[in-house]
Amino acid sequence: MTKTIASQTSNKHYFLTIETDHAVDCTCPDHQYRHHECKHMRQFNAEVTRAAAFLALKARIAAAEREARVAHRIAFELMMGL
């Protein structure tokens, strides 16, 4: 997959190549000449990492809420003698 990235310092656009949620190539001069992870790649990879952490936290909160509802229902049933 390819994502278009706008330059932060000029009106140019670069293409970021993404494979399995990880940036692997960029057409910016920094990456093309130095052959290392450029700021565009680092920024994209950091965004993916933050999104994955957010989704994991969201899943943990949802599980905790389900457990709390079950515990509340059990406590209510015990109180009512059901």
Asked whether residue 9 carries a pLDDT value surpassing 90, the answer given is: no
Can you give the residue range of the structural domain that contains 7?
2-80
Position 8 scores a pLDDT of 79
Question: For residues 73 and 22, what is the distance between their CA atoms, to the nearest angstrom?
Answer: 43
Asked whether residue 50 carries a pLDDT value surpassing 90, the answer given is: yes
Number of domains the chain is built from: 1
pLDDT in tens, 11-32: 899 999 999 889 999 999 999 9
| Phi and psi torsions of 9, nearest 5° | -115, -10
